[in-house]
Amino acid sequence: MPDLNFVLLYVDSPAASAAFYADLLGKPPVEQSPTFALFAMESGVMLGLWSRHTVEPAAIASGGGAEIAFAVDSETVVRATHEDWSGRGLPILQAPTAMDFGFTFVALDPDGHRLRVFAPSAPPVAS
């Protein structure tokens, strides 16, 4: 079975979303055109931002139906990231809270895609 290595989000404006994610991630896209932008994560996962107006076949879903999750080392990092993102003006959908899987909060990107930051309550299982 192939390994998961790309996450694609359908966005209204790839240029605006690329600027948002470049600021949030602290890195520029590795590829950018009028209809698409691509970010390379340290983990090897690629984040693509594709114009919802040009994707084929046409996308019927909009933001909010899934999440991009960022696992961090501690509750302290969750709180610091929440403070940073709140200060940047990101809408916060869920304030920092303890859940059964760990300590977490959820913010939204400009297209309404959920961005979850969490510190797992147990270390991830290595594969």
Using alpha carbons, list the distances in angstroms from residue 21 to 2, 57, 87: 27, 25, 15
Question: Quick one: average pLDDT of 79-104?
Answer: 97
Phi-psi region of 94 (alpha: psi -120 to 50; beta: other; left: phi over 0): beta
Q: What DSSP letter does each residue of 18-68 carry, written as one string? A: HHHHHHHHTS--SEEETTEEEEE-TTS-EEEEEETTT-SSPP---TTSSEE
Higher pLDDT, 66 or 72: 72
pLDDT at 13: 96
